[in-house]
C-alpha cells in the first residue's frame, strides 16, 4: 500500500493500475476492490482528479458513468480479451477482418461444417491471451475436442501465413510496429509461443489501418495484430494486455516512454 504518502507534484492525474508506478510525478494509489479500503486522502484524490490513469477494468466503467476521463479509455477496457465483441465491431464498422462466425447451441458442429472447410481456426472467445486458446482445427476430432469446452464457438478462416504485424497504438500515434514470425512448422506468431520479433519495414498502409481501427473502436492503448493475405491487410484483433518485449528489443524503455507521454499530455 502507498498509505498516506504525499501526492506527487503532478497530482491532477491519479493512477490506479501499476503501469506508472515507476513514474515519480504520477500519484499511483494501487487497486483496491473496496473503495473504502483507500485512505480518506486517496479517496479524495481519486474523486477530484482531472483524469484517472489505468483505472483497471473494475473502475473504468464506474469513472465513465461519473463522466470522469480515463486513460486508457473506457472503450479500451470494454473490448479487452473479448474476441466476440471485437469481431462484431470490426464487422459493423467495415474494418477488414478474416471471415469469422460465432456459433451457439446444440447444432454447433453441423452449423460450423456447413460454413467452414478444414482446416480452420477456433479460438476461446473470451479471457484468452498470449496465443493460448487458439487452435488449428484439421479434422472432426479436433473440432469435437474444441467444442467440448462448451463455450460459444469462435471460428475463423485459416490463413496459411508465417508472420503478422503487431502495431502498438498509444494515444493517437503508433508507438512501435514490428513483424512477428512464427517458428518453423507452427502457425502461432506470439512471442510467448516462440515467435520472433523482426524490425523489417512495416508497410505504411498497415500503420494507417491500425490507427484507423483504434480510432473507430475507441481504443487508445492497444496492440493491433494485422496480417497480409491475398493482397489485403486484415485486422486479427486488438490486444489491450500486449507484451513489451518489442520495446525492449528496440532499445526503448517502455515505462519511461509511457511516463513521458503522460506528462507531456501526448496521451
Question: Which of 249, 247, 246, 242 minimizes the C-alpha distance to 257?
Answer: 247
Predicted TM-score (pTM) of this structure = 0.91
CATH of 99-157, one of 3.40.47.10, 3.30.1490.20, 3.30.1280.10, 3.30.70.1400: 3.30.1490.20
Per DSSP, helices labelled H in the chain are 40-48, 56-65, 74-78, 83-93, 108-115, 140-147, 204-217, 245-249, 254-263
Residues 177 and 202 sit within 8 Å (Cβ to Cβ): yes
Instruction: Say if residue 72's pLDDT is above 70.
Output: yes
In this structure, what C-alpha cell is assigned to residue 105? 447451441
Q: Which of 73, 61, 99 is nearest to 214 (CA)?
A: 73
Q: What is the pLDDT of residues 117-168, one digit of tens each?
A: 999 999 999 876 665 689 999 999 999 999 998 789 999 999 998 899 999 9
Tell me if the domain spanning 163-263 has CATH number 3.30.470.20: yes
> Cell numbers at residue 93, please?
464498422
The structural domains of the chain, with segments of one domain joined by +, span 13-71, 99-157, 163-263
What percent of the chain has a predicted confidence (pLDDT) above 90?
84
Cβ pair 205, 185 in contact under 8 A:
no
Cell numbers placing 22: 515507476
Give Cβ neighbours of residue 128 (< 8 Å, ≥ 6 apart): 81, 134
CA distance 241 to 124: 16
* pLDDT tens-digit series, residues 240-257: 999 999 999 999 999 999
pLDDT of residue 97: 98
Amino acid at each position: 500500500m502507498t498509505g498516506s504518502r504525499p501526492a506527487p507534484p503532478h497530482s491532477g492525474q491519479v493512477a490506479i493500475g501499476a503501469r506508472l508506478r515507476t513514474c515519480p510525478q504520477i500519484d499511483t494509489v494501487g487497486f483496491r476492490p473496496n473503495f473504502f479500503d483507500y485512505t480518506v486522502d486517496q479517496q479524495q484524490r481519486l474523486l477530484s482528479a482531472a483524469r484517472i490513469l489505468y483505472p483497471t477494468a473494475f473502475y473504468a466503467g464506474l469513472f465513465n458513468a461519473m463522466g470522469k476521463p480515463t486513460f486508457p479509455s473506457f472503450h479500451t477496457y470494454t473490448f479487452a480479451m473479448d474476441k466476440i465483441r471485437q469481431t462484431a465491431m470490426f464487422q459493423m464498422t467495415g474494418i477488414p477482418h478474416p471471415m469469422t462466425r460465432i456459433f451457439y447451441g446444440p447444432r454447433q458442429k453441423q452449423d460450423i461444417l456447413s460454413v467452414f472447410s478444414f482446416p480452420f481456426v477456433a479460438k476461446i472467445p473470451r479471457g484468452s491471451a498470449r496465443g493460448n486458446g487458439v487452435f488449428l482445427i484439421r479434422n472432426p476430432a479436433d473440432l469435437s475436442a474444441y467444442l467440448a469446452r462448451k463455450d460459444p464457438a469462435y471460428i475463423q478462416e485459416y490463413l496459411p501465413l508465417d508472420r503478422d504485424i503487431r502495431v502498438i497504438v498509444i494515444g493517437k500515434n503508433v508507438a512501435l510496429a514490428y513483424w512477428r514470425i512464427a517458428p518453423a512448422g507452427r502457425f502461432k506468431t506470439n512471442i510467448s509461443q516462440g515467435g520472433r520479433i523482426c524490425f523489417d519495414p512495416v508497410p505504411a498502409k498497415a500503420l494507417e489501418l491500425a490507427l484507423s481501427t483504434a480510432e473507430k473502436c475507441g481504443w487508445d492503448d492497444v496492440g493491433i495484430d494485422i496480417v497480409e493475405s491475398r493482397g489485403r491487410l486484415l485486422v486479427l484483433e486488438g490486444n489491450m494486455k500486449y507484451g513489451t518485449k518489442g520495446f525492449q528489443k528496440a532499445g526503448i524503455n517502455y515505462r519511461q516512454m509511457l511516463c513521458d507521454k503522460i506528462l507531456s499530455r501526448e496521451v
